[in-house]
Chains A and B, each alone.
Chain A
Amino acid sequence: MTALLEVDHLGVTFRTEDGPVLAVKDMSFTLNQGEILALVGESGCGKSVTAMSIPGLLPTHGVARRGSVLLSGRDLTTLAEHELESVRGKEISVIFQEPMTSLNPSYTVGKQIVEVIARHQGMNRRQALGRAVELLSMVGIPDPRRRCASYPHQLSGGMRQRVMIAMAVACDPKVLIADEPTTALDVTIQAGVLEVIRTLCRELGTAVVLITHDLGVVAEVADRVVVMYAGRAVEQASVGSLFAAPQHPYTMGLMGALPANALRTKSRRLAEITGLVPAPVDDPDECQFAPRCGRATAECRATRPKLAESRVDHHVACYHPGREDDRG
C-alpha cells in the first residue's frame, strides 16, 4: 500500500535578522490512509514547522525549504502559492492551538464555515449553511442552527475548537493536521476534543498528523508516533511498541518524566533530562542528544546516527538503543 503522505528529507531554515535558524534539519516519515500519526517533542524541536511545511503554510519570505512532500504521489513543494490554495482546506486541513485567536472575531461562526465550503464546493448559500449546521452537530455542538449565528467570543474554548474541527473537515480532506489542538484548553475539556478528533477521523477516513508535546495525548489517540529532537526524527514506531519498549534515550527520558512513571520508580521522583536543547544555529555531524545522554560514547560524537530498524517496524537513530537501567 503506497502511503498517503510521504515526507522525504524535509529541511526548513529561517533567515532571521540575527542569522539563520535551522528549525528542521532532516525529517522523513510517511502517513497512511486513515491513520493517526503523532509528532512528539518538546518546544522548539521543529514539530510545528514540520507540520506547517506540508500544506506550505510557512511564511513566504525568509524561509528556505529542502526536500519533498508527496500527497498521493504529487509533490506539494513544487506547487505555487495559488495552486496550493486549491489543496488547502480541501485535501489538507489544519487546526491550530489557539481557538480564540484562530477565528475571525468579526464574522459569525456559521459564516466562517460556509466560507470554506463555498471556496471548494459549488454549493449555494442555503445548501452551504445546511451543511454547516450538519457539521456543527457532528462535532457535538448543541443547538447547531442557532450557534451558526454566534460570534467566536460567545463560545467557550472547547466549543471554538470544535468549530475549528468542523471547518477543517467540511470538505472531507484526506489529511488533517492538528497543531497542539488541546494544549490551550482546560484539562477537563481536552478529552472531549480529542474524542471528537478521533471518532470523526475514523468515521470519515481522514488521516491525522497530530502535533503534541504531551505523551498522554499520544497514548490516547495515536496509531503511530515520531519522536523529534532538535529538528530531526530520533525514533519512529507504533504507539504500542513505543510505550512498551522505548529505544532512544531521549524517549526514555520523556517517559521517565511522566508523573505516572515516576510513581513506579523506587525514588518516586520526577526524572529530568539534564542539559538544554541545542540552539538551532548549526548542524554538526554528531548525535545532537549526546551532551545530555548518559550512554554517549566517542562514536556518538564522531558521526550522527541514522534512523535504523532496531525492533520490528520500530526505527531509532542511536548507537546504543534499547532499555537499560542506567540512564543519564
Chain B
Amino acid sequence: MTDMAVAVLPATTAITRGVRLRRRFLRRPMAVVGLVLVTLFLLLAIFGPLLTPDPLVQELTSAFAPPSAHHLLGTDDLGRDELARLASGARVSLVAGVLSTALAFLVGVPIGLASGYFRGWLDEVVMRLNDTVLAFPFLIFAVGFAAIFGASLRNVVIALAIGLLPSVVRITRGEALVLREQDFIGGAVADGARAGSIMFRYLLPNSVNALIVQATVAIPTGIVGEAALSFLGLGVQPPAPSWGLMLTSAQQFLVQAPQLAIYPGALIAVATLGFNLLGDGLRDVLDPKDRR
C-alpha cells in the first residue's frame, strides 16, 4: 500500500532522483559503514605501499618482533615489516578483485544480454553452458587451471573471472528477460531499431543498477578467491606478498606468533564485510524488490 502512496509522489516533487537516492543511502547506517570500510581498503591498497617500508626486505635477526616505532605492526617470520606486507597484499587483493570482476563483466554482460533478449536456441545453449561451468566446484577448476597454465597473479585473475562469469551471465540475462517485455522496447523495435542497438542503448543502461549490486558481490568474491588460491600455493608466489600467502606461512607459527595469522585474515574479513554492507545498501536503494 505504501508503494501506492509513493507512486503518486515522484511526478510532482522537486528533488531529483540522484539526490533522493543519495539521501536514502545515507539514511542507512550499515550502508555508510560499508562505504567507509571499502574506502579505507582502497586507501590502504592504493597509498599504503607508498607509505610503508619495502615488504621484501628481510631482517632475520629481528623476526617476530613486537610492534615498534620502526615496524608499526611488528615483523614476520623472516623479519619483514608486517604492515608493509599487509599494505602490498591489499594492493594485490584489490587488483585481483577488480580485474577479475571487470573481465567477467566484459565477457558476461554481452552474453547475458544476448541470451535474455534473443531467447530461443541461443538462450538454451548459453544456459546449458552456464550450468556446466557452475557444475564445477570452483576450487577444483582453479587448481587444474593453475596446474596447466602455471601459478601467477595473472592466471588467478583469469581463473577468477571464469568462476565469476556464470553469475554475471545469469543476472544480466534475468534483467534482459524482464526488460524486453517493457513497452519502450516494443516501441524501439517498431521504429526499426536493430538488435545490437537495442541491447546497447536500452537494455544495458537499465540493467546498470543490478550490475552495480552484482559488482559489489563479485569483487569480494575475487578478493577471497585470490587469497584462497594463494593460500593453497596456486596463486601469487613467494616472496611477493599476498594475504593468502601470509596465512599459509602463519599456519606454521601459530604457537609463537598467532598475530601473523590474525592480521591478514582480519583484513580480508573487513574488506569483504565492507563490500557486503555496501552492496546491501546499494541494493536497497537502487534495486528494491518492489520495483516490479
Q: Indicate, yes or no, whether A interacts with B.
A: yes
Q: How many A-B residue pairs have CB under 8 A?
A: 50
Bound Cα distance from A59 to B8, whole angstroms:
18
In contact, A279 and B24 (Cβ under 8 angstroms): no
Distance (whole angstroms) from the CB of B237 to the closest CB of chain A: 50
Distance (whole angstroms) from the CB of A184 to the closest CB of chain B: 15
In contact, A281 and B27 (Cβ under 8 angstroms): no
Given contact pairs A17-B24, A18-B20, A279 touches B5 in the complex (Cβ within 8 A): no
**Beta-carbon contacts of B107-128 to A below 8 Å, as 1s and 0s?**
0000000000000000000000
Identify which of residues 1-56 in chain B touch chain A, using a CB-to-CB cut-off of 8 Å. Answer: 1-2, 4-9, 11-13, 20, 24, 27
Bound Cα distance from A252 to B195, whole angstroms:
48
Q: Quick check: is A322 within 8 A (CB to CB) of the other chain?
A: no
B7 proximity list for chain A (CB < 8 A): 44
> What number of B residues sit within 8 Å (CB to CB) of A?
14
A48 proximity list for chain B (CB < 8 A): 1, 4
CB closest chain-A residue, reference B12: A279
Distance (whole angstroms) from the CB of A292 to the closest CB of chain B: 14
- Which of B1, B12, B13 sits near A58, CB closer than 8 Å? B1
In contact, A14 and B5 (Cβ under 8 angstroms): yes
- Which of A52, A58, A280 sits near B8, CB closer than 8 Å? A280
A280 proximity list for chain B (CB < 8 A): 5, 8-9
Q: Quick check: is A62 within 8 A (CB to CB) of the other chain?
A: yes
Bound Cα distance from A54 to B281, whole angstroms:
35
In contact, A18 and B9 (Cβ under 8 angstroms): yes
In contact, A18 and B1 (Cβ under 8 angstroms): no
In contact, A44 and B4 (Cβ under 8 angstroms): yes
Distance (whole angstroms) from the CB of A12 to the closest CB of chain B: 9
Bound Cα distance from A2 to B204, whole angstroms:
62
A281 proximity list for chain B (CB < 8 A): 9, 12-13
B11 proximity list for chain A (CB < 8 A): 276, 279
Bound Cα distance from A277 to B13, whole angstroms:
13
Bound Cα distance from A62 to B6, whole angstroms:
13
Bound Cα distance from A18 to B2, whole angstroms:
11
In contact, A279 and B8 (Cβ under 8 angstroms): yes
In contact, B1 and A21 (Cβ under 8 angstroms): no
B8 proximity list for chain A (CB < 8 A): 21, 44, 277, 279-280
Q: Quick check: is A132 within 8 A (CB to CB) of the other chain?
A: no
- Which of B5, B20, B24 sits near A21, CB closer than 8 Å? B5
- Which of B5, B13, B24, B27 sits near A23, CB closer than 8 Å? B5
B1 proximity list for chain A (CB < 8 A): 14, 48-49, 52, 58-59
A277 proximity list for chain B (CB < 8 A): 8
In contact, A16 and B5 (Cβ under 8 angstroms): yes
**Beta-carbon contacts of A266-301 to B below 8 Å, as 1s and 0s?**
000000000011111100000000000000000000
Bound Cα distance from A281 to B8, whole angstroms:
10
- Which of A19, A59, A276, A278 sits near B2, CB closer than 8 Å? A59
Bound Cα distance from A18 to B8, whole angstroms:
12
Bound Cα distance from A19 to B8, whole angstroms:
12
In contact, A21 and B13 (Cβ under 8 angstroms): no
CB closest chain-B residue, reference A14: B5
Given contact pairs A49-B1, A58-B1, A59-B1, A279 touches B9 in the complex (Cβ within 8 A): yes
Between A and B, 11 residue pairs with Cβ closer than 8 Å are A16-B5, A19-B13, A21-B9, A49-B4, A49-B5, A59-B1, A276-B11, A276-B12, A278-B12, A279-B9, A279-B12
Q: Which 10 A-B pairs have the closest CB atoms?
A: A279-B12, A21-B5, A14-B5, A44-B8, A14-B2, A16-B6, A23-B5, A17-B24, A18-B9, A16-B2
- Given contact pairs A44-B7, A49-B4, enumerate 7 new A-B contacts (beta carbons under 8 Å): A14-B1, A17-B27, A48-B1, A49-B1, A49-B5, A279-B9, A280-B9
